[in-house]
Amino acid sequence: MKTLRLILLLILSGFIFGCSHHLEINNLHEYQASSFKSLPKDLTIGVTTSSSDKDGKTLVTGMASSLSKHTSSIIYPYAPASGKKADIITNVAIHPKHEGSGLNFLINFPGFLVWAPAWNGYQYYPTYNVDIDILSTIDNSKIDTFSIPIKLDVNQSDIGRTWTEISWFEVGAIALISGFVFINYDDDITPMVEQEIKGPVGDYLAQEVIERILKSGALEKIQQEKAAAVMAAPNAPL
């Protein structure tokens, strides 16, 4: 009896842990930062966002962290009323739009017959449309405004969906019906995706912000204003 229970436990464990496909982001290499140029060490950048944790705020945190490696002072989250002054404000808005794939139906049915959900995973397309405004606090002028679409191609599966492979033990109705449901995006993978892309995509966004600041010519004006402020009140803090 104990032997039978052990065998059944091993079968169940194999089913649970075997019916999953680790998260794969197939096109993450498209959003790798190629090279960085540093900003002046006395430049302070404030990063603000209207996005919540459910709306891709993790990417903003990754961008702010990356920016902090290339200038001496980053304020995040930045609030003008806090009393801390930034030379440049970078406002980031993330607009997520995640989609599943019609192929998930075929992966589930008749794919369950060859364990396709486990070795292939389901297909998902998480997308983050990133809008960035860069402003100078010296004269409240706009330095640049741009948008970057982050469109990911993801494969993943876990027991939350692959349990339907129990259709092996019946006529396949469970896999057939659930296949229609699994065409939709699985919200459970979003936190995993965002943690995976936080670093590389954060670098990618930071690189774009730095390049646009450098190309704008705004730094020269900021430095001139700072020098003029020192001349006017040499003992006053900047």
**How confident is the prediction along the chain (238 residues), in pLDDT tens digits per residue?**
566 554 444 444 444 444 677 899 999 999 999 888 889 888 999 999 988 877 889 999 999 999 999 887 999 999 987 888 899 999 999 999 999 999 988 888 887 777 788 889 999 999 999 999 999 998 889 999 999 999 999 999 877 555 455 544 445 566 666 667 789 999 999 999 999 999 999 999 999 999 999 999 888 888 877 777 667 765 555 5
| CB-based contact 128:103 (threshold 8 Å) | no
CA end-to-end span of the chain? 80
- For 72, the token pair is 């001496």
Asked if 44 contacts 55 with a C-beta cutoff of 8 angstroms, the reply is no
- Tell me the β-bridge partners of 129: 95, 149
d(CA 122, CA 99): 12
CB 25 within 8 A of CB 196: yes
pTM for this model (two decimals): 0.84
CB distance 98 to 185 below 8 Å: yes
Query: Dihedral of the CA atoms 65, 71, 73, 78 (nearest 10)?
Result: -50
The answer to whether 67 and 206 have CB atoms below 8 angstroms apart is yes
